[in-house]
Amino acid sequence: MPLAQIIGTGSYAPAQVITNRDLEKIVNTSDAWITERTGIKERRKAAPGETTSDMAAAAAREALAMAGTRPEELDLIVVGTITADMPMPSCAVLVQAKLGAKRAFAFDVAAACAGSVYALSVADQFIRTGQAKRALVIGADLFTGVLNWKDRNTCVLFGDGAGAMVLAPSEEEGRGILSTHLRTDGTLAEILTIPAGGSREPLTEENLREQRHKVVMNGREVFKCAVRELTSVTREALRVHGFTPAQVDHVIVHQANMRILEAVLQRIEIPIEKCWINLDKYGNTSAASVPIALDEANRAGKLKRGDVVAMMAVGAGMAWGSAMVRW
Ligand code: ACO
């Protein structure tokens, strides 16, 4: 069975920039605090009326163009998102309609910031088994819409965006997605949630007033989990392939926080120079983070044929995963 190969990448970030200085006017924070604790300098915010599927479709068009693939050729669209345009139907079906990808079946995967790696893994299975010849994988989140702009613990961290990848069966042996590893620990569900708006706590005037339909986070616990599990899942992938850290050419990791990246890279003994970093520009774009970073690295000409690319992400769930790719 041929491996699945990433034959096109694309990304989209809304035009409006919100700097740390802008946030100083909204909450009791400072550019110095945000920069020192996170590495984030600015993030993007969707325009009024702009939706997650708009951003997803924009990123997808770029990826399809690079792949030389027409929307009608797609068999499958998987969107990693937790901020779909509406609770029903999925974001993916709206993307399908916007692209005119008539033949593709489409669905969302909800794994928060790990969404794109989860979606990539799902699409990888369809390509490997021959059930799909062309798959579109998207990570897209409009996270500024689910932030409590009075909560300085969370509102400084996130931004909006989308990234996309087109997959096809590899024509070269050993080239493509070598493996994916997905892991979940649902006992940690409560450390990062949007408490209200689901079946457990339907929306009421009271919980809307209390902003319980917005993100609530235990930052320290998320931090510890992120460092621990990004490290473990990367070590696992390296072990499976018998790769030494030196054999990894590029790291494309979820852009949550510079201190998380540094701690993980140090533990897995890969120099930080191998890691594409853009969180200073975009903040944490949730499911979009990994495919945006991949697209930027790709368009910058960093990823050479045959290079080993280690991709990994972690998010609410807690859910995390890796994808090891021979470019
Ligand atoms: N500006 C100024 N002060 C702040 C801010 C802010 N924006 N946010 C929190 N503080 C304050 C806190 O209230 C606290 O004050 P106190 O001591 O008076 O109570 C103080 O700063 C220190 O807070 P800590 O929580 O100890 O700060 P920490 O060094 O842990 O950094 C942070 C906080 C940046 C949130 C960190 O815990 C973190 O990055 N966690 C990971 C969170 C994350 O990345 N989430 C993304 C979603 S999941 C994912 O993508 C992996």
Q: At 38, is the pLDDT very low, low, confident or very high (cuts 50, 70, 90)?
A: very high
Output the CA–CA distances (angstroms, integers) from residue 148 to 5, 34, 152, 155, in the order listed.
39, 17, 8, 6
**154 touches ligand 1 (CB under 6 Å):** no
Cα 324 → chain centroid = 15
Residue 21 has a pLDDT of: 97
Output the CA–CA distances (angstroms, integers) from residue 137 to 28, 93, 104, 147, 263, in the order listed.
38, 13, 12, 25, 29
Asked if residue 278 lies in contact with residue 293, where contact means CB atoms within 8 angstroms, the answer is yes
**256 touches ligand 1 (CB under 6 Å):** yes
Residues 182-221: pLDDT tens digits?
Answer: 999 999 999 999 999 999 999 999 999 999 999 999 999 9
Q: How far is the CA of 153 from the centre of ligand 1 (A)?
A: 5
Residues 83-109: pLDDT tens digits?
Answer: 999 999 999 999 999 999 999 999 999
Atom of ligand 1 nearest to the CA of 156: 7
**33 touches ligand 1 (CB under 6 Å):** yes
Give me the chain's average pLDDT, please: 97
Amino acid at 125: Q
Domain pair 4-173 / 177-326, same fold:
yes
Residues 64-88: pLDDT tens digits?
Answer: 999 999 999 999 999 999 999 999 9
Atom of ligand 1 nearest to the CA of 152: 7
> How is the chain split into domains, by residue range?
4-173, 177-326
Residue 178 has a pLDDT of: 97
Residue 1 has a pLDDT of: 81
Residues 281-314: pLDDT tens digits?
Answer: 999 999 999 999 999 999 999 999 999 999 999 9
Asked if residue 245 lies in contact with residue 269, where contact means CB atoms within 8 angstroms, the answer is yes
C-beta atoms surrounding 175 within 10 Å = 16
CATH fold, domain 177-326, is Peroxisomal Thiolase; Chain A, domain 1 (3.40.47)
**314 touches ligand 1 (CB under 6 Å):** yes
Q: Whose CA is nearest to atom 13 of ligand 1?
A: 153
- Phi and psi dihedrals of 15, rounded to 5? -75, -35
Question: Could you give the residue numbers annotated as active site?
Answer: 113, 254, 284
β-bridge mates for residue 324, sequence order: 179, 310
Q: Which CATH architecture has domain 4-173?
A: 3-Layer(aba) Sandwich (3.40)
pTM of the model: 0.96
Output the CA–CA distances (angstroms, integers) from residue 17 to 32, 43, 72, 83, 277, in the order listed.
18, 6, 34, 20, 18
Distance (Å, rounded) from C-alpha 289 to C-alpha 120? 13
**220 touches ligand 1 (CB under 6 Å):** yes
